[in-house]
Amino acid sequence: MKKGKTLYGLLACVTILFILSALVDNYIIDPGAEGFLSEKTGLKRELNLPVWLNVMYVHVAFACIAMASGLLNFYNRIFEKSRKFHRINGYVYLVSVLLVVLTSGYMAPYATGGEISSMGFNALNIIWPVITIVAFVQIKKKRIIRHRNWMIRSYAFCFTNMLIHLITSLFHQGFGLVYATSYTIGVYGSIVLLLVIPEVIIRTTGQSREVVVPHK
């Protein structure tokens, strides 16, 4: 119980700080994404800047909504107080994930690092919605523990951007690799970590017995 609370507190701090930094960075400090776009070299197709930027704004907005709504739905006290809020907020999360993936589908062909990075993003565009839909199917079948575990797997992907940038910085600034290569490593490294870390969390905090919770 205490372990769960500590983990949730840590998750809440990281998530809130990341949401704030994503909003400030992308809408206030660098709304033209000049820093990020300057690393795109040798693009195979021409990037329509106004369209790309607007898609990116929508992408970041729904990514932040997904992160916030997911965080709230993992908070036990809210779940215990109002099952209705949990349900509505769950649909907000589902729609947000689908919009993040849709906008990602537009941006993927122009990904930093070229075609290999694009392929990684396209894999993410399949993996994330599939995992999220599995989580929803589980709750439709009233399998609470499986729903919880699949939601942990789904929510992990909200940290894709954070992990990509952490891994990219490690390889670019730490090991001196060129930015584009570091970014590609970041894309694939984050896919692996985002599949592995939730399994560790499920095993350390998990419940093995399925329980059926009556609707409120």
Does the protein bind ligand HEM through residue 122 (CB under 6 A)? no
Nearest to 91 by CA among 69, 117, 124, 60: 69
Position among 56, 131, 135, 151 found at the interface with ligand HEM (CB under 6 A) = 56
Residues 130-149 that bind ligand HEM (CB under 6 A): none
CB of 46 to ligand HEM, least distance (A): 14
CB-wise, 24 or 88, nearer to ligand HEM? 24
Position among 15, 69, 104, 190 found at the interface with ligand HEM (CB under 6 A) = 104
Residues in contact with ligand HEM by the rule CB under 6 A: 22, 26, 36, 56, 59-60, 63, 66-67, 100-101, 104, 107-108, 110-112, 121, 124-125, 128, 157-158, 160-161
